């Protein structure tokens, strides 16, 4: 996750991007390339300051995607009760609220340039009351036969209470296919956070490499 600000924005306090007890419905495709999905989730933890009639994680979501030729775009939104933002990779974040829902929105656009390269843009924002975390990223991926090289860079900001911070992140990804079902990868990512006063600087760097095999 380190190196991709939109991912940092959308995950929860436990680093989870999936929902418990969620029901999804995909609408029939009435336009070629257009997909619409709506969902409802039911949390399992009693909401702060509330009776057992409502739970943290109760929420709704939707996504709209469109694909034609080399272009692909998606907008998605989710509203959750009583859920905070991910704090493991950020110092200054909105916290769970008994009165305000967490609202997250994501926009993603990409274009494949005749198989030579794929460029992408992603914007994500998570809001709880007057506090928010926002992140943008631009990326490019280039196929090189059995290998591919990708780079992503982004910036954003976060406001929690009276404190604001500026965010920057980047990551490099190298993939190499050993066969149709086996892939080796190398990833290097970094993320920095600096408050408006220039204090509480946070810097995280991550290196990962491994092999993935599909059975």
Each residue's pLDDT tens digit, 182-193: 999 999 999 888
Which residues, 6 or more positions from 213, have their beta carbon under 8 angstroms from its beta carbon?
Answer: 181, 182, 183
Q: Is the pLDDT of residue 68 over 80?
A: yes
Q: Which helix (H) or strand (E) holds 37?
A: strand 34-41
Q: Is the pLDDT of residue 81 over 80?
A: yes
Q: What is the 3-state secondary structure (H, E, C) of 132-194?
A: EEEEEEEEEEEEECCEEEEEEEEEEEEEECCEEEEEEEEEEEEEEECCCCEEEEEEEEEEEEE
Q: How confident is the model at residue 12 (pLDDT cuts 50, 70, 90)?
A: low
pLDDT at 9: 79
Q: Is the pLDDT of residue 52 over 60?
A: no
* Domains of the chain: total: 1
Q: What is the mean pLDDT of the chain?
A: 86
**Which residue from 44, 45, 157 is spatially nearest to 94, judged by alpha carbons?**
157
pLDDT at 38: 97
Judged by average pLDDT, the poorest of 12-16, 102-106, 186-190 is 12-16
By residue range, what is the domain housing residue 201? 5-213
Cβ burial, residue 144 (10 Å; 0-12/13-18/19+): exposed
Q: What is the mean pLDDT of residues 30-51?
A: 83
From edge to edge, which strands make up the β-sheet containing 163-177?
Answer: 23-26, 34-41, 59-68, 71-80, 102-113, 117-128, 131-144, 147-160, 163-177, 182-195, 202-213
H-assigned helices in the chain: 5-10
Q: Is the pLDDT of residue 169 over 70?
A: yes
Domain with residue 10: its CATH number is 2.40.160.10
Q: Is the pLDDT of residue 148 over 70?
A: yes
Q: Is the pLDDT of residue 161 over 80?
A: no
Across 29-38, 85-94, 160-169, the highest mean pLDDT is recorded for 29-38
């Amino acid at each position: 996750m380190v190196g991709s600000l939109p991912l940092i924005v959308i995950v929860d306090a436990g680093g989870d991007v999936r929902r418990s007890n969620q029901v999804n419905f995909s609408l029939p495709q009435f336009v070629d390339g257009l997909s619409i999905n709506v969902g409802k989730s039911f949390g399992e933890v009693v909401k702060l300051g509330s009776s057992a009639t409502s739970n943290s994680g109760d929420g709704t979501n939707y996504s709209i995607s469109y694909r034609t030729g080399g272009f692909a775009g998606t907008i998605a939104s989710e509203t959750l009760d009583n859920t905070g933002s991910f704090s493991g990779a950020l110092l200054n974040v909105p916290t769970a609220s008994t009165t305000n829902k967490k609202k997250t929105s994501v926009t993603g656009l990409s274009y494949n340039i005749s198989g030579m390269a794929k460029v992408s843009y992603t914007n994500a924002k998570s809001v709880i009351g007057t506090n928010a975390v926002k992140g943008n990223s631009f990326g490019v991926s280039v196929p090189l036969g059995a290998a591919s090289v990708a780079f992503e860079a982004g910036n954003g900001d976060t406001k929690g209470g009276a404190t604001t911070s500026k965010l920057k992140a980047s990551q490099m990804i190298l993939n190499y296919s050993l066969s149709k079902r086996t892939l080796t990868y190398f990833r290097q990512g970094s993320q920095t956070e600096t408050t408006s006063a220039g204090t509480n600087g946070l810097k995280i760097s991550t290196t990962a490499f491994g092999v993935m095999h599909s059975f």
